[in-house]
Amino acid sequence: MARPKIALIGSGMIGGTLAHLAALKEMGDVVLFDIADGIPQGKALDIAESGPVEGFDAALSGTTDYADIAGADVCIVTAGVPRKPGMSRDDLLGINLKVMKSVGEGIAAHAPNAFVICITNPLDAMVWALREFSGLPHNKVVGMAGVLDSARFRHFLSVEFDVSMRDVTAFVLGGHGDTMVPLTRYSTVGGIPLPDLVDMGWTSQEKLDAIVQRTRDGGAEIVGLLKTGSAYYAPAASAIEMAQAYLNDQKRLLPCAAYVDGAFGLDGFYVGVPTVIGANGIEKVVDIKLSKDEQAMFDKSVDAVKGLVAACKEIDPSLA
Ligand code: APR
C-alpha cells in the first residue's frame, strides 16, 4: 500500500518542524508548499538528507505549485504571518484571511478528500474561513489549538506537582485566545481532579490560578522570548498528534477547534471543544456538562470568536 501523503501548506517555522516530525515518525510522504520559492524545496531536501542518518524512508519534496499536493490525505495549514511582540493573534486577521482564501481554493481544487488541520491564527476564525473558502465537509476541517493549550497547561502542572507529564491530563476549551477556558475540574494528576489536589493541600488555589493564567498567556510568553516570531515546536507536535489520530483511526479524544452544531448550545460555529478524531475526521463532539462559572467563561470565549468571524465577514463580504 502506498504511504499516506501529507501536504504542509506553509513551510515556515511550524511547517518545517511538521515536515521533520512527520518524517521522523514515518507518517507518510511529505510535500511542503509555500509561496516563497526555494524555502519548501530547501527544507524538503535538508530533511531528506537526514533520512540516511535517522533511518526513515519517507519521500520529501517542496513546491510552489498546488498541483503537487494532489491526492493528499492530510493537509496541515500554517500559511500566513505569525505574531511579533506586542501583537495579539487577532491583529493577524486581515492578512491571514486573504491567505486562507487562496489556501482553501488550492485544497478544494487538488486535495478535496484530505483531512485539513488549520494552525494559522487567529485560529478559530481562520479555520472557519478556511472551511468556507474550501467548501470541504465540516468534519474534515479542524483547527489545532486545544491540544497545544492543554499541553502547555500539562507542562506547567507537571512542574508544579513534580510528577511525570504522562500522569497529568488537562482540558482547555473555548477560543484560542485570551479568553480560552482551562477546565480545572476536568484536569487531573493521576486521575485526581485539580480542585481535589487543592483540598488535599498539594498546591494552593493561588498557585493553580497563576498556572491557569500562564496557560492563557502561553503563546505570548514564547513570542516575548523569541521576539522574531511565535512558537513552533509545541504547535507542530500538537498538529502531528491530530494527524496521527486521523491516519491511524485512533479515535483519540482531543480538544480541537471543531464545527459545533447542536452541542454546547451552539448552532453551526467553530470553537475549541472535546472531539473524537478517527478515520472519518471529527467523528464526535463531546458535549460535556459545564458548571455555571465554566459556562460563563465558555460563553465569553465564544463571543470573542463571534466578533472575529463578524470582522472576517466585513473584510470579505463573500463570507457573509
Ligand atoms: N500561501 C502559502 N504560504 C504562504 C502564504 C500563502 N498565501 N502566505 C504566507 N505564506 C508562508 C510564508 O512564506 C511563510 O513561509 O507561510 C509561512 C509562515 O511561516 P512563518 O512566518 O515561519 O510562521 P509560523 O511560525 O510557521 O506560523 C504560521 O501559525 O501559529 C500560527 O500565528 C501563527 O499564523 C501563524 C502561522
Q: Is 184 annotated as a binding residue?
A: no
Contact 87, 62 (CB under 8 A): no
Q: Which residue has the cell 493561588?
A: 206
Rounded average pLDDT over 149-155 = 97
Name all residues whose Cβ lies below 6 A of ligand 1.
Answer: 9-15, 34-36, 39, 78-83, 92, 96, 99, 102-103, 119-121, 229-230, 232, 235
- Evaluate if pTM is beyond 0.90: yes
- In the chain the first and final C-alpha atoms are separated, in Å, by 43
Kindly give the distance from the C-alpha atom of residue 13 to the centroid of ligand 1, in angstroms, as a whole number.
8
In the structure grid, which three cell numbers stand for residue 127, read together?
479555520
Kindly give the distance from the C-alpha atom of residue 301 to the centroid of ligand 1, in angstroms, as a whole number.
25
* 244-288 pLDDT per residue, tens: 999 999 999 999 999 999 999 899 999 999 999 999 999 999 999
Give the separation between CA 4 and CA 6, rounded to whole angstroms.
Answer: 6
Ligand 1 atom closest to residue 89's alpha carbon, by position in its atom list = 32
Kindly give the distance from the C-alpha atom of residue 121 to the centroid of ligand 1, in angstroms, as a whole number.
10
Sign of torsion over alpha carbons 65, 67, 69, 75: positive
Q: Any alpha helices (H) in 111-145, and if so which ranges?
A: 123-134
Contact 120, 13 (CB under 8 A): no
Closest C-alpha residue for ligand 1 atom 7: 99
Q: What DSSP character marks residue 137?
A: -
Q: Give the model's confidence band at 320: pLDDT under 50 very low, under 70 low, under 90 confident, else very high.
A: confident
Is residue 1 pLDDT above 90, yes or no? no
Contact 19, 8 (CB under 8 A): yes
In the structure grid, which three cell numbers stand for residue 136, read together?
470541504
The Cα-based distances of 190 to 49, 157, 187, 276, 312 in angstroms read 41, 12, 10, 22, 42
Kindly give the distance from the C-alpha atom of residue 8 to the centroid of ligand 1, in angstroms, as a whole number.
11
Q: Is 177 annotated as a binding residue?
A: no
Residues comprising the chain, all counted: 320
Is the ipTM of this structure higher than 0.90? yes
Rounded average pLDDT over 155-169 = 97
Give the separation between CA 142 and CA 271, rounded to whole angstroms.
Answer: 10
* 52-103 pLDDT per residue, tens: 999 999 999 999 999 999 999 999 999 999 888 888 888 889 899 999 999 9
Using alpha carbons only, what angle is made at residue 184 by residues 207 and 157, rounded to the nearest 5 degrees? 50
Residue among 263, 274, 259 at smallest CA distance from 305: 259
Q: What is the mean pLDDT of the chain?
A: 95
Q: Which residue has the cell 462559572?
A: 293
Residue bearing the bigger pLDDT, 91 or 318: 318
Q: Is 185 annotated as a binding residue?
A: no
pLDDT at 85: 85
Q: Is 281 annotated as a binding residue?
A: no
Strand segments, DSSP code E, in the chain are 5-9, 29-33, 60-63, 74-77, 115-118, 141-143, 168-173, 181-189, 192-193, 252-261, 267-278, 281-285
Is 110 one of the catalytic residues? no
Give the separation between CA 185 and CA 142, rounded to whole angstroms.
Answer: 25
